[in-house]
Amino acid sequence: MTPEEPRPQRPAPAEPSPGVRIARPFGIPVFISPYWFLIAGLFVFLYARGLVQSVPESLRYPVAAAFVVLLYASVLVHELSHSVVARAFGLPVRRILLYPLGGFSEIEREPPTPGREFLVSAAGPAMSLALAGGGFVLFKAAHLGEFVPSRQVHAGGVASILLDQLIFANLLVGIFNLLPGLPLDGGRMLRAGVWKLTGRPAQATVVAAWAGRVLAACVLIVPLALYARAGYGIQLFTVAWLAVIAAFMWTGAGQALRATRVRERLPALQARALARRAIPIPANLPLAEAIRRADAAQARALVVVDHEDRPIAIVNENAVMATPPQRRPWIEAGTLARTIDPGLVLPADLSGMALIEAVRRTPASEYLLVEPSGQVFGVLATTDLDHAFAGT
């Protein structure tokens, strides 16, 4: 396809769905990860086995399934608490995702102050503990008392089991999430505190992330050490589950560290500073001559222009490098160019996250940078942007 031929506009690729959408409370989409169904089935099976002495066989799996559904409903309420407080502070919430190990509120912007960061983070554990407390009050108010194992379980006995387990589950979720290390809510609260003391959010993230890594190691090592020293009983499934939780925490802390490094590099990502000098050439100019002119002008990019000197295409650097030198005199430079679609024209003043988002919207190897007046400033190559982003 020659530069003069219009290229069909390609629609932006649809974002892959994170799972199955199940609800939209307060206008916030809630998705369940496909893996949730597998782990939920495993939970139902294991929990039903634990009900052998207390629930008749015909009720074990329905009771276990009801417990798992209610447990994840509690997780949803936990995440909704984060989201509602975030929206009260004007922070947009994209969605909530429920996955096998819990849930995640995808808040599109970080809170601008440590105080708001603390309140958004504390909302989830506070709600979990409130649910546990409310369940305990309801348990006592209903005079359910201690549950006595029996083969003939009535409706009140089943309700007692479910309510007792939900109290314990919400208490566990609330306390566990208060542990001071990322990616847990307590880690974000710790980050808010360090941020308040130092005034440096990046340093606060590093402290909270390393605290999370220490906690991840403790989650796995401490139970094993106790078992090795004192011989406390510990099942293989428990060890495997602790390993999964520890891996989740370690990975989440690592992601926080990487995100911090990325944010520190964002100010260096300036389109104007990364731009390559470009020279205009006609489409039918032999590639060898185009390269000679670029070398003479100390330019590293070639922009194809029409008969009115308007830029219409950018010569692809990879295609040029792949062309053997002996063939370059016989190939027109325009045959190696990509038509300049609207998404390939970027303001030269773009920087930071705005520059990254502009590149993400229209993936390409080169972009035309223009001044506010419309004059061509140069060409931005994604390889240069990648190197700056990676700090190399």
CATH dotted code for 271-390: 3.10.580.10
Give the separation between CA 356 and CA 202, rounded to whole angstroms.
Answer: 20
Q: What is the pTM of this model?
A: 0.67
Encoded tokens for 43: 């939970």
pLDDT surpassing 80 at residue 286: yes
pLDDT of residue 10: 43
- Round to the nearest angstrom and report the end-to-end CA distance of the chain: 35
Encoded tokens for 101: 């190990």
pLDDT of residue 17: 65
Q: Which of 54-68, 72-86, 152-166 has the lowest mean pLDDT?
A: 152-166
pLDDT surpassing 80 at residue 246: yes
Give the separation between CA 32 and CA 39, rounded to whole angstroms.
Answer: 12
pLDDT surpassing 70 at residue 1: no
Tally the C-alpha atoms within 13 A of residue 2's C-alpha that lie toward its C-beta: 10
Q: Which of 61-75, 328-342, 369-383 has the lowest mean pLDDT?
A: 61-75
Question: Is the separation of the CB atoms in 252 and 183 below 8 Å?
Answer: yes
Domain definitions of the chain by residue range: 15-178, 196-266, 271-390
Tally the C-alpha atoms within 13 A of residue 286's C-alpha that lie toward its C-beta: 9
Of residues 51 and 107, which shows the higher confidence score? 107
What are the tens digits of pLDDT across the range 67-119?
888 888 888 999 999 999 999 999 999 899 888 777 889 888 889 999 999 99
What are the tens digits of pLDDT across the range 115-140?
999 999 999 999 999 999 988 888 77
